Amino acid sequence: MKSLFKDIFKDKRKKVCNLVFSAAFSGCTVAGWQLENRGYTDLTSYAFWFVLLIIFFAVFLIMSLSDRFFKKTSCHVEKKDVSKKAFFLTWAAFFVSYVPALLASMPGFFCYDAETESYEVFTFKYSNHHPIIHELLLGNLLRLGNRLFGTYNAGITIFVLLQMMVMSCILAYLLTTLCRYGLGKVRLTVSFVFLALFPTVQMFMVCTAKDVLFSGGIILFITLLIRAAHEKASPYLLFVSVCMILFFRNNGIYIMPLFCILVFFLEKRLRKILPVLITGIVFYLVVTEALIAFLPVKRGEKGEMLSVPMQQLARVHSLDRDSFSEEELEILYSMIPEVILENYNPKLADNIKVNFLEDNFKEDPGKYALLWANTFLKKPGIFFDAFGIMTDGYWYLSAPITGYEGYKVGNEIYSESAYFQFMIETPGVAKPVLAGLNRFYKSLSLDISWQKIPVLSIILLPSFYIWVFLFSYNEAIKEKKNIFRTVFWLPALLILTMLLGPIALVRYALPFYLMIPVYLAPEALR
């Protein structure tokens, strides 16, 4: 016992990392419980701090014990050769494993703004609110399928099959790379089974949401960083991964330049890849501006970026309207109509975002910023609660994904669960082949009971995968080789952009589900 406590407090770096992680996890757990069960946090409650301290010490002790264990069991792993045959077999196995999901959802899950994206192509009226390249790819494949086979379903299936090919290839590349650097057979099997058969992964592999290919770009980029840390990564594949990140979700526009800055200042040994990354960014900017100039593209609105501050003001208006002066109310209503504020949804900013009066905001953004700052100083607790209840799906292990409750999408109205948008938007028509699997996916997507089953619900929710990522990142920080921590920088930046979004959804956190094999291969990060 004496040696145990000596080890716990011996290494200052590990001690600080364990303290920070334990404090963050315990604080989020207790605050998340209060938000979900009471609708607010109460820092004056003795029970709050008592439970927080119990969780904190338990987590800190577990992490300290794990440090002691890994210290004894970790060893240097020699680089192994992995044949091309193994890669192609893994690729084929992943592709085949997603075929039942496609048959159960025929023509594929055409949802999450897919209807809007395709109609922008059909009507030649574009907006860069959605990635233009994804719109062009999706919309024109629908046209092609309709022209060749007389049905838009064919176009949807062509898109999904191509996506399955790309994603299966990337996941196979990830697994074979990790095998090369120490991933054993048991963990390899667990990784493959999870990525091939876990229902959430299966549904997204046959879904046309832009998040899927974006997630593929993130996984490919991480795989190549691991290779670059050990030996040399293909500059061509690195360029492809950067393009996937930038072209398939607008989050990439923010996280990739920030990643380059971090590498430049903090990781000298990876500066060799910066020319490729910068070339990818420049290529994205040139192509995007060319498309905007050539096509009638309406530039995106500011409302998306202001989701959090607008929700914070809306919550104060909902709970304590008298805290605003008449002049402040007038300024607030000139940005967000009163009738919209009265229908405030704590979990979802879409209603406010869509009805945001951007022209008024552009005339004098300073006065709205001042309104936000003054309101924050008066009601900081409500501001933190507004942010917390919007985002707790990412950081509280028992937070169900329910933001779309009562929200109408197409002809469907969500009940409680918004785990997955189980629908085929027009012009697609649902024609499932495997009816039983289709019913299972529908239940998992729309039935809230799945998110309330003890233990099982945790592995379904995005918060679990984000905490596993943060734990792994914390473990990487403990190591003295900075180059391996760099693998986690891009996903960490992605989390920051997710926290500023209008709602917490599984699809935004998909990269963290697909990173599970990375967490199971610590040898590759040493």
Tell me the backbone φ, ψ of residue 31, rounded to 5 degrees. -65, -40
Q: What is the percentage of the chain residues whose pLDDT exceeds 90?
A: 70
Cα–Cα dist 130/208, whole Å: 13
Looking at 76-85, 198-207, 266-275, 487-496, which range is the least confident one? Answer: 76-85
Question: pLDDT tens for residues 61-110?
Answer: 988 887 765 554 444 556 777 889 999 999 999 999 999 999 999 999 99
The pLDDT assigned to 408 comes to 64
Which among 104, 11, 22 has a CA at the least distance from the CA of 63? 22
Does residue 180 have a pLDDT over 60? yes
| Paired strand residues for 297 | 126
Mean per-residue pLDDT of the chain: 90
- Would the pLDDT of 253 be above 60? yes
Q: Would you state the pLDDT for residue 136?
A: 94
Give the CB-side neighbour count of residue 7, counting CA atoms within 13 A. Answer: 17
> 126-127 and 297-298: which strand pairing?
parallel
Cis peptide bond N-terminal to 380, omega within 30: no
Angle between helices 274-294 and 132-149 (to 10 degrees): 60
Which pLDDT band, with edges at 50, 70 and 90, does 7 fall under? low
3-class SS letters over 364-415: CHHHHHHHHHHHHHHCHHHHHHHHHHHHHHHCCCCCCCCCCCCCEECCEECC
pLDDT of residue 524: 75
Banded pLDDT at 516 (limits 50, 70, 90): very high
Q: Which of 24-28, 73-77, 150-154, 392-396 has the lowest mean pLDDT?
A: 73-77
Asked whether the predicted pLDDT for residue 1 surpasses 50, the reply is: no
Provide the pLDDT for residue 304.
72
The CA distance from 139 to 156, in Å, is: 9
The pLDDT tens digits of the residues spanning 400-439 come to 999 887 666 656 667 788 899 998 999 999 999 999 999 9
pLDDT exceeds 60 at position 345: yes
Residue 162 has a pLDDT of: 98
pLDDT in tens, 213-243: 999 999 999 999 999 988 889 999 999 999 9
* 109 φψ region: left (φ > 0), alpha (ψ -120 to 50), beta (else): beta
Residue 145 per-residue DSSP state: H
Residue 3 — very low, low, confident or very high, per pLDDT cuts 50/70/90?
A: low
Planar angle of CA 271, 172, 86, nearest 5 degrees: 115
Least confident of 147-156, 206-215, 350-359: 350-359
pLDDT score, position 72: 45
Which of 119-123, 183-187, 477-481 is the least confident region? 477-481
**Which helix (DSSP H) or strand (DSSP E) does residue 297 occupy?**
strand 297-298
Rounded to whole angstroms, the Cα distance separating 147 from 136 reads 16
In the prediction, which pLDDT does 483 show? 73
- In whole angstroms, what separates CA 77 from the centre of its chain? 31
Contact 418, 405 (CB under 8 A): yes
